[in-house]
Structure 1
Amino acid sequence: MPQMSPLWWLTLMLMFNLMLMISSSMLYFNQENKKIKKKKYNMNKISWLW
């Protein structure tokens, strides 16, 4: 398929890179959230003074 226009290959490459970045960021943040949840905040309940 080398006869295809360069624009087509450029768009393909850009889409691939974009999806790769999005998927990697989602995985990273998912792992970070899991780490944060494991720690479990030991915060005292705040009694609101209205």
Structure 2
Amino acid sequence: MPQMMPLNWLILFFYTISVFLMFNIINYFNYNYSIKNNNYSKKLIKYNWKW
């Protein structure tokens, strides 16, 4: 039935778009960012007391 082919292409298009979006969303929320705390560390001041 050639009349049904546009519907089939639309379903296939929406399916591929939804799979692509789901893949990107899962990868975006699954990635772990490493936070560097070097800039926020306390400054250590060493005093050399000579009595």
TM-score interval for Structure 1 and Structure 2 normalised by the shorter chain: 0.5 to 0.7
What is the TM-score of this pair, normalised by structure 2?
0.59
User: Gaps spanning 5+ residues in structure 2: where?
Assistant: 36-51
Structure with a larger share of its residues in helix: 1
* Percent of paired sites with the same residue: 9
**Cα distance, 1:5 vs. partner?**
1.4
What is the TM-score of this pair, normalised by structure 1?
0.60
User: Gaps spanning 5+ residues in structure 1: where?
Assistant: 42-50
Alignment RMSD: 1.9
Name the residue aligned to 1:22: 20
Name the residue aligned to 2:40: none
One-letter amino acid matched to 1:5: Q
